[in-house]
Amino acid sequence: MKIAPVAEVKARLSSFLEETVHGPVIITRNGHAIAALVAVSDDDDIERLLLAHSPRLRQLLEQAATRVAEEGGLTHEQFWAQVDADAALAEDISSKTLPE
């Protein structure tokens, strides 16, 4: 991990991007960390990074955890029965044609 002030990162961005192969680069302003440069190797890395920092996803997960704690969750069998029912409904809807 490397730590560098924002002015230095602005002046030498390409070299700091290369440094991310060895670990994150922490960017500071007035001695305080303000951002981090991290390497991504593929689209999955990008997706994980974006989802990990998504306030909306975090909110949905917290709501789901609360609902499970209050109401209980589905059993394994109930879950897969619901998946099968949803898939059958979707297939039924897609197989119907609209009147001309």
Domain count, the chain: 2
Residue 98 has a pLDDT of 56
pLDDT value at 91 more than 90: no
Judged by DSSP in three states, 49 sits in: helix
Residue 94 has a pLDDT of 80
Are residue 29 and residue 4 in the same domain, yes or no? yes
Are residue 34 and residue 66 in the same domain, yes or no? no
Determine the Cα–Cα distance for residues 53 and 73; give it in Å rounded to an integer: 26
Are residue 5 and residue 29 in the same domain, yes or no? yes
What count of Cα atoms within 13 Å lies in the side-chain half-sphere of residue 74? 9
* pLDDT tens digits along 31-76: 999 999 999 999 999 999 999 999 999 999 999 999 999 999 889 9
pLDDT value at 15 more than 90: yes
Are residue 32 and residue 66 in the same domain, yes or no? no
Start-to-end C-alpha separation, the chain: 64
Q: What is the pTM of this model?
A: 0.57
Are residue 54 and residue 33 in the same domain, yes or no? no
| Domain span including residue 31 | 1-39
CATH number at residue 22: 3.40.1620.10
Are residue 46 and residue 90 in the same domain, yes or no? yes
